[in-house]
Amino acid sequence: MFEDKRLLVTYSPHIRENRLTSKIMLSVVYALIPAIAVSIYYFGLHALRIYFLTIIFTLLFEALFLKIRSKSVSLNDNSALVTSLLLAMNLPPTSPWWLIMIGSFVAIIIGKQLFGGLGQNPFNPALVARVLLLIAWPARMNEWIMPQPIISGSFFDAVSTSTPLGEAKTEIITHGHIITNNLVDLTGSFLGDIGGSLGEVSALALILGGLFLLYRGIISWHIPATYIISFLSIIIPYWFFFPEKTIDPTSHLFAGGLMLGVFFMATDMVTTPITRIGQIIFGIGCGLITAVIRLFGGYPEGVSFAILIMNAFVPLIDYYIRPKSFGESR
């Protein structure tokens, strides 16, 4: 007879799928690599500095807070790393160190840990930080420089520029309509050769990352597809009837933070609905709000606000969109 106090007693099941939260988070990091690479290519040392500082600050704040709460300091769920990269990608290349520090603090402490840490935050931490910085330091957050490929060798010169969406907004506000023809350099915004936040400049790199996440099953098509479709369903008719009041839909898609938002922010598992139908509602809401802000709002960009607003609806959506239980009649 074998009787050992060390025979483990647990609930079933006794086997688990080999799919861990830390690995899911790591997949998101991998998916961001193309966009990170593009930003480093175009913004060189500026980009490296920002990535370095955000990673240091976010991990530091995370560790510090866990220490204060006497929890085991484990950064190995990789979620803080994802937040730090997303935050960095939402910052202008010339952000000063204190802006980055405040952003990291807001993202990790206010955005995530105060709610209970991993998985408990109702709002996307990186977006909470971005929006706070945008409102508190609008000038700092709208300081754009021309991308300069690393190979050009000029590491430190920074030529001021504007983002295509920002420029369009300014022209509409000051002149009532767009005056510059071909405001958006489409090839540029596809490849990354435009002014903007670190992570939003290359639509191509972001789409590649998004496809990787889709392929790995980390995200599903429901939010990205409905987001884009509902966004275009407002933008296209508006542009068709008032072509002088806004840039063309293709430019809307690829310039600015839409692709970053669609694939990496609006698909954040923690802050989006758990059911597929809920996700479709969420995506439609994001698309509509983004379009309305871009067309009629004071800000050139609407992605961050749209996602945060829809984040607030998630508990409600999850509560009311309950799938049909097997054999349930209703």
Residues that bind another protein (CB under 8 A): 1-4, 6-21, 23-24, 77, 79, 116-120, 269-270, 272-276, 318-319, 322-329
Q: How far is the CB of 28 from another protein (least distance, A)?
A: 11
Q: How far is the CB of 324 from another protein (least distance, A)?
A: 5
Residue type, 255: A
| Residues contacting 148, CB < 8 A, separation 6+ | 42, 43, 44, 154, 157, 159
Nearer to another protein (CB atom), residue 118 or residue 204: 118
Q: How far is the CB of 274 from another protein (least distance, A)?
A: 4
Both structure tokens of 305: 């606000």
Cβ atoms of 251 and 183 closer than 8 Å? yes
Segment (H or E) for 22: helix 21-68
Nearer to another protein (CB atom), residue 247 or residue 284: 284
Nearer to another protein (CB atom), residue 175 or residue 322: 322
Nearer to another protein (CB atom), residue 107 or residue 141: 107
Nearer to another protein (CB atom), residue 217 or residue 243: 217
Is the sign of the CA dihedral 137, 143, 149, 151 positive or negative? negative
Nearer to another protein (CB atom), residue 241 or residue 330: 330
Segment (H or E) for 276: helix 276-296
| Residues contacting 12, CB < 8 A, separation 6+ | none
**Residue 266 CB neighbours (<10 A):** 30
Q: How far is the CB of 288 from another protein (least distance, A)?
A: 23
Q: How far is the CB of 283 from another protein (least distance, A)?
A: 14
Q: How far is the CB of 319 from another protein (least distance, A)?
A: 8
- The Cα-based distances of 29 to 22, 84, 241, 264 in angstroms read 11, 10, 41, 10
**Residue 206 CB neighbours (<10 A):** 28
Nearer to another protein (CB atom), residue 206 or residue 317: 317
Nearer to another protein (CB atom), residue 19 or residue 157: 19
What would the DSSP string read from start to end of 142-169?
Answer: G-EE----GGG---S---EE--HHHHHH
Q: How far is the CB of 271 from another protein (least distance, A)?
A: 8
Q: For the chain, what is the radius of gyration of the CA atoms?
A: 21
Q: How far is the CB of 307 from another protein (least distance, A)?
A: 15
Q: Is 118 exposed, middle or buried (0-12, 13-18, 19+ CB in 10 A)?
A: middle
Give the Cα separation of 293 and 252 in Å (integer).
12
Place of tokens 């871009």: 294
